[in-house]
């Protein structure tokens, strides 16, 4: 975890526990962050559905591709 000064949290309308997005500029060695929008927040249930969908696609890829060409 990292510590963010209270004034910065308040200026960004953030509170302890809020999720943020980190951006890393490797060249200049700069890390910046911004509040995570609702659209960027993925629930654990959505993560599970995405993982199951990907597993299904990987397992049946050849069958799916065959059906796509019919």
pLDDT number for residue 40: 63
* Every domain of the chain and the residues it spans: 1-36, 41-70
Judged by DSSP in three states, 4 sits in coil
pLDDT digits (tens, 9 = 90+) for 15-64: 888 888 889 999 999 999 888 776 666 777 888 999 999 999 999 999 99
Which CATH code is given to the segment(s) 1-36? 2.10.260
Note the pLDDT of residue 20: 84
Q: Write the DSSP symbol of residue 38.
A: G
Contact between 53 and 45 under an 8 Å Cβ cutoff? The reply is no
Ramachandran angles phi, psi of 16, nearest 5°: -55, 130
Q: What pLDDT does residue 37 have? A: 72
């Amino acid at each position: 975890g990292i510590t963010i000064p209270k004034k910065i949290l308040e200026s960004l309308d953030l509170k302890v526990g809020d999720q943020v997005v980190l951006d890393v500029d490797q060249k200049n060695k700069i890390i910046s962050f911004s509040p995570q929008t609702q659209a960027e927040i993925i629930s654990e249930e959505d993560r599970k559905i995405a993982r199951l969908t990907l597993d299904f696609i990987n397992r049946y890829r050849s069958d799916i591709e065959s059906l796509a060409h019919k």
